[in-house]
Structure 1
Amino acid sequence: MDVITLGETMVLFTPDSTGLMRYAGNFSAKVAGAESNVAIGLARLGHQSGWMSRLGEDELGKKVLSFIRGENVDVSRVSFDPSASTGLYLKEKLAANEMKVHYYRKDSAASGMQSDDLDEAYIAKFKYLHVTGITPALSQSCYETIVEAIAIAKKNNITVVFDPNLRKKLWTEIEARRILLELSAMSDIVLPGIEEGEFLFGETHPEKLAASFHNLGAKCVILKLGKDGAYYSSETDKGYVEGYQVDQVIDTVGAGDGFAAGFISGLLDHLTLKQATERANAVGALVTMVDGDVEGLPERSRLLDFMNATNREDVSR
């Protein structure tokens, strides 16, 4: 098995119309969650991934499980909670390039995850553990579950990949900064965005930010720079990778998850750090071209076609 991840996945409702949500008459329902997005992205690229979580014993929970299982992700360690509901969120499309996200996840089934939910023998089968900064923000028990998952990974020589994925609405800035720094220090690979780096260290220079994460203990740091690409850094290799240009950005939500899936995929394929970062940029770019969190995640043939295009500026035409 390749990559195991854990966290909350919700049902996403999006108005079919643009403008204030109060005027929307019809909504589409999709499935989305940072960690399951990564698991799906890896599965589409031909890797073996698993996702662990809790869902409400309701129709939305059944929808989530059915969808993720249908994407060839192992969901054998997902449980149903009859006393809590499945979380949901809404995307409000105010204008072509303006969107608001509204979460309804308080006291959701996933927020009740416990460290006792973890199966060490199952986790030990995987090469990588992927975690984000969203899950520990949901509750104290979720924080403890993430810490325990990392401890299990270290005990079994599993590489820990951490995406800070800052969500300021979920906790205070003081608590967020403390825990995100703590988890960064516990991880082998950290995948922050430039804004997250500034939040944690008050710095925006990629090379200085990478050094700050290294000083915490991270062996490898990949800084996401948006349309400008990314900066990668390890003890033996570092440099900038140019971003892929697209004609029209449709939806940026989920691009960071696509980036993570692309990068881990590159490592699984034994690419160099630079090549893995290039793949990460490509997957992230493809996600922005499609509405929805997972709809733009490519299969391997699509990804290679995109990356092999002779002119990056023409790849989306």
Structure 2
Amino acid sequence: MSPARVAVIGETMLALRSAGQLALNATLTTSIAGAESNVAIGLSRLGHPVSWIGRVGSDAPGDVVLKALRAEGVDVSGAQRDSAGTGMILFDRRLPAVSRVAYARTGSAGSALSPADIDLDDGVAGVHVSGVTPALSESAGAAVQEAFAQARRRGAWISFDINYRARLWSKERARAVLEPFVRGADVVIASPDELALFGSGSGAEAAGTQDAESVAAELIVAGVREVVVKNGAESAFVVTGSERAEQPALRVEEVDPIGAGDGFVAGYLSALLDGAALDERLRRAHKVGAFAVSSVGDWEGLPTRAELDLIGSAGGSVMR
């Protein structure tokens, strides 16, 4: 039997990074960035078959995106080319561990994702999406709805990372659009602040006063299979209908915090695919997240399966 394959859906952009503070004649390096494709690369490096579904422009940045994903073992046969340009993100490295971020993604090819682009085959065991994609456009939100519907018809599980971005929309709008996805997923992943938006209070501000534990319990009652809550550099916990597990985060030297959450998701889903217990899922999630923050870039430092043990147990540090 072939290993279970995961499909991720979302926008991937060309990433430009300055070596230091952005200035005239500064040196920039190119890479790619996108919440879902970061997860895809993380899963691929850990040995899981994974495919990326999205749109890029018929331009050089689009070529870079597809070549980078192929090089990382991610299947891009479901990708579409578009007359609109590929979105771009600029990281201005103001301090060693602090980058200012600017986007050029309005009207991008990625935001033109539509339901017609979603075609999940019977080999897909799981689907992963984040809240960034529905924030890009109405058509992208409709594409996520179609992905949920197809996954349900095929018996695939659905993972949803709330991933709220204040630059893209208000809390009120995010709550209204994302609530069906949050309540319709099998696995919901969020920070406490993100999760609090979806409690039973009326309106985003009222719901935001609820603690993560109570909102997680509400979602389990609503039919979500498991809720994973990331408490940043402190810990993470997961609750199901019958179990609860919590693991402290790992102490590592932080080089670049960007991509830590996506690494965490990749580690968690990897262990889920392996059939690991809840404790082990959280441990692997913390390990992959720790690798992510220990290197510059969204995904460049993500580990292979053989490298996982280079990070110690909870409370340990990177082995040098």
Smaller-chain TM-score bracket = over 0.9
Q: Specify which of 289, 293, 297 is matched with residue 292 of structure 1.
A: 297
Q: Which residue of structure 1 lines up, in the alignment, with residue 194 of structure 2?
A: 196
Counterpart in the other structure of 2:126: 128
Structure 1 ranges of 4+ moved more than 6 A: none
Equivalent residues of 2:196, 2:212 under 8 A apart: no
CA distance in 2, matches of 1:266, 1:311: 16
Name 2:236's counterpart in structure 1: 230
Alpha-carbon deviation of 1:196? 1.1
SS at match of 2:245: strand
Shift of 1:173: 2.4
Tell me whether 1:140 sits opposite 2:138 in the alignment: yes
Partner of 2:95: 95
In structure 2, the CA distance between the partners of 1:129 and 1:226, relative to structure 1 (3 Å rule), is same
Instruction: Kindly indicate which of the two structures has a greater share of residues assigned to helix.
Output: 1
Matched residues in 1 for 2:78 and 2:298: separation? Answer: 23
Corresponding residue for residue 73 of structure 1: 74
Select 1:265's aligned residue among 270, 274, 287: 270
Question: For 1:169, what is the secondary structure of its paired residue?
Answer: coil
1:84-233 to 2 correspondence within 5 Å?
84-120=84-120, 122=121, 124-200=122-198, 201-203=207-209, 205-233=211-239
TM-score of the aligned structures, taking structure 1 as reference length: 0.93
Structure 1 residues 284 and 314: CA distance shift in structure 2, 3 A: closer
Bigger mean CA deviation after superposition, 286-295 or 210-219: 210-219
Q: Is contact 2:288-2:308 (8 Å) kept?
A: yes
Q: CA deviation at 1:227?
A: 1.2
Number of residue pairs aligned between Structure 1 and Structure 2: 309
- Give me the identity figure in percent: 36
Structure 2 residue runs of 5 or longer lacking an equivalent are 199-206
CA contact (8 A) 1:203 1:209 kept: no
User: 1:31, CA displacement in angstroms?
Assistant: 0.8
Q: 2-side partners of 1:214 and 1:24: how far apart? A: 53
Using structure 2 for the length normalisation, give the TM-score.
0.92
RMSD: 1.6
Would the aligned equivalents of 1:184 and 1:216 in 2 still touch at CA under 8 Å?
no
Query: 1:99 Cα deviation (Å)?
Result: 2.4
Stretches of structure 1 that go unaligned for 5 or more consecutive residues are: none
How far did residue 286 of structure 1 move?
1.0
- Which residue type is aligned with residue 89 of structure 2? Y
User: How far has the Cα of 1:312 moved from its partner?
Assistant: 4.0
1:122-157 Cα offsets, whole Å, 9 max, x none, are 2x3111100100011111000000001001001111
Change (3 A) 1:144 1:316: same
- The Cα shift of 1:197 comes to 2.1
Assess if the C-alpha contact under 8 Å between 1:195 and 1:204 holds in 2.
no
For 1:311 and 1:191, locate their aligned partners in 2 and report how far apart those are by CA, in whole Å: 20
